[in-house]
Structure 1
Amino acid sequence: MSRLEMKTERLIVPLMQGKRVLLDEEKGTTLATWATKTAWVNEFIGRPGPDPTPQPLATPAMRRHLMDHSTPPQHTRVWIAYHQGLYHLDIRAAELRISPSPDPDDPEVYTALFTALTVDKLTILVWTAETDRVIVPQLPASYWHPVWPFEAAFIWPLQRTVNDLAIDTTLTRHSQRHPLPPHDRVVQGDLGSGIRRLNELRDRPLHD
C-alpha cells in the first residue's frame, strides 16, 4: 500500500492546511480509499489477538477488493468536512448493529462502522456496512461533502465548517438520522481509546 500512502501524503497536506484544492475524481478516490483502509486498521487494532472477537467488519474479500482495485468496496460511503476546532490528530469510531427482529436474542445482526478521521482542518467520515440492508445515513451536503462514490469535482475548502462537537454528534447520534426499517433494534459501540463498549440506544423496537 506504499503507493497509496505516497499519493495520499501529497494530497492530504494542502487539505489539512485549508489551502485551495480542486478535488477531482482521482483525488477524491485516493482520499476515500486511504481513509477506508485507515478506518479498518483502527477497528482491527481495537480487537487484539490472532482471532479477534467479535470479528472486524472488514472481511478478507473487502480488503482484497480495496487492494486490487484501489477503491473502497461496495456498501462504503466517504464524506469530507472543513474542520475548525481543537482536534489536531484524532480518530474516533462508532459501531451500529441492526437486527431485523425485535427479539434481542435473534442471532441475525447487520453491522456498520462509522469512523471520523481528523487532521487539523480536514475531517474524513467513513461509513462501511456489510450489506445493503443497512441504509446509508443522509448527512447535510453543505457540511459533509461526499467523495465516495464520487459525484463531481469541487473546490476545497468548503464554505461551511464543522467543529469538534459536530463530529462527535454525527457519530454518537447518527441513528436519529438513520432511516431504519420497522422492528429494528439499534446498538452503538464506542471504540475510542481501544475500549469497546456496547450501549443500547433503545429499550424497545424502533418504528418508522
Structure 2
Amino acid sequence: MILINLLPYREERRKRRKQAFFVGLALSFGVGVGVAALGWLMLQTMIEQQRTRNTFLQTQISQLDAQIKDIANLREEIDALTRRQKAVEALQAERNMPVHLLNELARLTPEGVYLSSIRQSEKSVTLTGLAQTQERVSEFMRNASREAQWLERPELAEIKLTNVATSARDSKRLFDFTLKLTFKGLNPDPSNDAAPAARKG
C-alpha cells in the first residue's frame, strides 16, 4: 500500500530553518553583547587603575615639589650664610692688615734705611724714606721681592740726593726715595715664615 503525505512538509522545513536562524542570530547577538560588555568592563577597570596610578604619581610629584622648594630655601640660606661668613672674614682680614703690613716692613727694612711715611690705598702701599746709599734701597727692594709674605711687586717711583740736618751745624747727604708696593692680602704662604727666619739666623 502506498502512503502519500499530503502535508506541506516544505513549508514546515522552511519554518524550522527560519527558527534556527533566528535562534542562532539571537545567540550571536547575545554573545556579541556579552563580549562587548566584558570588554567595556575591562576597559573601565584599566581606566580606573590608570586613574589610581595618576593620582599616586600626582601626590608623589607634589611631595617632590615641596622637597625641591625646601632644598631651594636651604640653598638660599646656605648662600646667605656663606656671604655673611666671607664678609666677616674680609672685615677680620682688613682689621689685621695694618699689623701684617708693619710687621712685614720691620722685617724687610735693612739697616741704613729709615721710613718716614707709609700710605695705603686699598692694596697699594706707598713708602717714603731716607737711605744712606742707593744700595740700601736696592737691598730693600730685593727683600720685598724675594722674602715678603704680604707685599709684592716693589717699584721705585723716585730717588734723589738730599741734605738732612743732623745738628745745628752739620748736615748729612742721604737719598730720599719713594717706593710703591702691592699688598697681597689674605692667605700668604705659611712656608715663607721659616725661610726668612733661617736666613736671619
TM-score, normalising length: structure 1: 0.25
Structure with greater proportional helix content: 2
Instruction: Name the larger-Rg structure.
Output: 2
TM-score, normalising length: structure 2: 0.26
